[in-house]
């Protein structure tokens, strides 16, 4: 008995991300009537591999990341049967919205679905972290970095706020900045939060951090301080992040990884670079502050 080749046929363009994945698979195996050139197929594969970024990005940034023109993404969308790029992107946005509440379990499901040896898994994490760092560096604006460093160096008061996993990043930033200048505080969730914000003025700085899935309280605090005229610096991930609208300066730090939650490697390295930039501006003042900290450490016999 002759086996028949099963062909997945979509009477309309894929309406779900799963259908889009299946279409990509069928095209690769020659089982689809949809035909794309090698370059277009490569771009489609790259987009499907990063649904979160496609869901929240804009056509210009996605075109830049994939090395094509925005018009190429429009033509690709129409080749797949969509009316334009917005319809194509809506498929990604739908799946990301539905998956938002299950972000972490989906991460671990991907990990468990691709079992590998410990060393191989460790190497994958390292490679992904390096890619995130390289992408962060490529999109880093030198002027914005210098301005943020100036605010953090010379603002009378600096408050650092993040929750959940990024609470540790906030502590890391507070420690680094606090070693080189006074007036730096990490805000504690539900512990005197309002008291430590109410006196901030337009000369002060709030540094916040949150990535998909975004923490509502962090966004609300940033919005409130923006309304009061406080200068807000945000560390986030995508151009459509809710922090982008309420921050004066935003830095986009990728976190794509097979790690079970958000990868923090690129954020930690970025924080180190930011603190060093502030120290460079403060010069002798930073040196004196560090020496004072060292003297106190010796006085309290904190170190062996």
pLDDT at 46: 84
Average pLDDT value for the chain? 85
pLDDT at 177: 97
What is the C-alpha to C-alpha distance for residues 241 and 238, in angstroms, rounded to an integer?
5
Q: Where are the domains of the chain?
A: 17-101, 136-299
Work out the pLDDT band at 179, boundaries 50, 70, 90: very high
The structure tokens listed for 186 are: 């990490």
Fold of 17-101: Arc Repressor Mutant, subunit A (1.10.10)
- The single residue listed with the structure tokens 């062996």 is 304
Dihedral pair phi/psi, residue 100, rounded to 5°: -55, -45
**CB of 210 within 8 A of CB of 247?**
no
pLDDT at 7: 39
Tell the residue number behind the tokens 């986009």, with chain if given: 252
Average pLDDT over residues 286-294: 91
Residue 36 tokens, joined: 């794309």
Tokens 């987009």 correspond to what residue? 47
Rounding to the nearest 10 degrees, give the CA dihedral for residues 159, 186, 190, 218. 60
154 pLDDT above the threshold of 70: yes
Cα atoms in the Cβ-side hemisphere of radius 13 Å centred on 256: 19
pLDDT of 131: 86
Provide the pLDDT confidence category of residue 139 given band limits of 50, 70 and 90. Answer: confident
Per-residue model confidence (pLDDT) at position 2: 40
The tens digit of pLDDT for each residue in 126-138 reads 888 888 888 888 8
Q: Is 301 left (phi over 0), alpha (psi -120 to 50) or beta?
A: left
Q: Whole-angstrom Cα distance, residue 134 to residue 128?
A: 10
Topology alike, domains 17-101 and 136-299 = no
Please write the tens of the pLDDT for every residue from 75-109. Answer: 999 989 899 999 999 888 877 666 555 555 555 55
Does the structure show a pLDDT above 50 at 16?
yes
Nearest to 259 by CA among 123, 107, 131: 107
CA angle 94, 68, 63 (to 5 degrees): 35
Q: How far apart are CA 100 and CA 200, in angstroms?
A: 33
pLDDT for residue 210: 93
Which pLDDT does position 149 carry in this prediction? 98
The class of domain 136-299 in CATH terms is alpha beta
Name which of 224, 171, 215, 172 is nearest 194 in CA terms. 224
For the ranges 114-128, 143-157, 178-192, the one whose mean pLDDT is highest: 143-157
Strand, coil or helix: 264:
coil
- On the question of pLDDT at 198 being above 80, the answer is yes
Residue 180 CB partners (closer than 8 Å, separation 6+) = 275, 278, 279, 282, 285, 286, 289, 290
User: What is the pLDDT at residue 284?
Assistant: 95
Instruction: Round to the nearest angstrom and report the end-to-end CA distance of the chain.
Output: 79
Task: Kindly tell me if the per-residue pLDDT of 185 is higher than 90.
Answer: yes
Q: What is the pLDDT of residue 136?
A: 87
């Amino acid at each position: 008995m002759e086996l028949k080749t099963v062909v997945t046929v979509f009477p309309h363009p894929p309406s779900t991300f799963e259908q889009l994945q299946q279409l990509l698979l069928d095209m690769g195996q020659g089982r689809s009537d949809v035909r794309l050139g090698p370059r277009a197929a490569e771009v489609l594969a790259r987009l499907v591999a990063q649904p979160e970024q496609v869901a929240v990005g804009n056509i210009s940034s996605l075109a830049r990341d994939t090395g094509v023109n925005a018009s190429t993404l429009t033509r690709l969308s129409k080749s797949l049967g969509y009316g334009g790029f917005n319809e194509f992107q809506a498929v990604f946005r739908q799946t990301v919205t539905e998956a938002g509440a299950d972000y972490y379990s989906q991460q671990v499901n991907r990990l468990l679905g691709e079992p590998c040896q410990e060393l191989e898994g460790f190497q994958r994490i390292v490679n992904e972290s390096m890619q995130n760092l390289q992408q962060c560096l490529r999109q880093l604006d030198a002027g914005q970095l210098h301005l943020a460093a100036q605010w953090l160096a010379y603002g009378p008061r600096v408050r650092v706020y993040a929750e959940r996993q990024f609470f540790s990043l906030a502590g890391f930033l507070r420690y680094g900045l606090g070693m080189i200048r006074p007036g730096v505080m990490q805000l504690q969730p539900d512990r005197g939060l309002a008291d430590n914000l109410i006196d901030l003025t337009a000369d002060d700085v709030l540094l916040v951090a949150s990535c998909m899935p975004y923490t509502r309280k962090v966004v609300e605090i940033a919005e409130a301080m923006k309304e009061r005229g406080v200068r807000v610096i945000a560390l986030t991930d995508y151009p459509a992040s809710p922090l982008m609208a309420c921050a004066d300066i935003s830095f986009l730090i990728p976190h794509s990884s097979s790690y079970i939650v958000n990868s923090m490697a690129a954020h930690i390295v970025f924080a180190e670079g930011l603190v060093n930039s502030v120290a460079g501006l403060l010069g002798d003042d930073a040196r004196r502050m560090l020496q004072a900290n060292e003297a106190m450490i010796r006085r309290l016999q904190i170190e062996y």
